[in-house]
Amino acid sequence: MLIFVLGGTRSGKTKYALNYGENLFHFSNFFYIATAEPVDEEMKARIKEHQASRSDKWQLIEEPIKLWEVLDKIPDSSVAIIDCLTVWLGNLMNYQMDVKKCCELFLNSLKKFVSSTEHCMICVANEVGLGVVPETKMGRDFRDIAGKLNQDVAELSDEVYFLVAGCPLKLKAI
């Protein structure tokens, strides 16, 4: 099963994803895959805030780049949350990775992961297409790549939720 949680910054995406995952009682393993890196004081504070919001049920995996490798290591009967795909894309661009290739590797691994009835993946991402057009080419490229990845993940998903002010709006259900 694949659940996709989209929304703006501070819309309640992570809280919703954690609550959703914790209510899946038939799973015995819970993994939180964090993509953020503590690159400055602000990001360190955000990471601490996210850590404080999680119960001890969640095992932390930190992976800023190779999400496809992490998914291959998650055991059966697991719920995993990736938080967040938008930060992950920023990491790929910052480290000048082949973004298209990395997205292909991730999407193929995600398909394999969710094809098992023993797994549930919850992907969290920012909806980047509702704001102003970015001023720079890099900003527009980022928005376009994030929008395409969001579409690809949504297409694979069994359920898609859009969060506004902490309130989920179901966009897709099987």
Domain ranges of the chain: 2-172
* Section 145-173 average pLDDT: 97
Cβ neighbors of 115 (< 8 A, separation 6 or more) are: none
What integer pLDDT is reported at residue 131 of this predicted model?
A: 84
Q: Which of 13, 50, 54, 119 is catalytic?
A: 50
pTM of the model: 0.95
pLDDT for 174: 78
What integer best gives the mean pLDDT of the chain? 94
Average pLDDT over residues 32-46: 92
Segment 121-144 shows an average pLDDT of 94
The reply to whether 119 belongs to the active site is: no
Does the pLDDT value for residue 116 go beyond 80? no
Per cent of the chain over pLDDT 90 is 81
pLDDT tier for residue 105 given thresholds of 50, 70 and 90? very high
H or E element at residue 49: helix 41-53
Interval 27-42 mean pLDDT: 94
Residue 112 in contact with residue 68, Cβ under 8 Å?
A: no
Q: Give percent of the chain with pLDDT exceeding 70.
A: 100
Q: Which two tokens stand for residue 142?
A: 């980022």
92 pLDDT above the threshold of 90? yes
The per-residue pLDDT for 108 is: 96
Residue with tokens 């930060």: 87
Per the structure block, which two tokens stand in for 21?
Answer: 């995952």
Q: Which residues are CB-contacts of 127 (< 8 A; sequence separation ≥ 6)? A: 6, 7, 8, 150, 162
The CATH class that applies to domain 2-172 reads: alpha beta
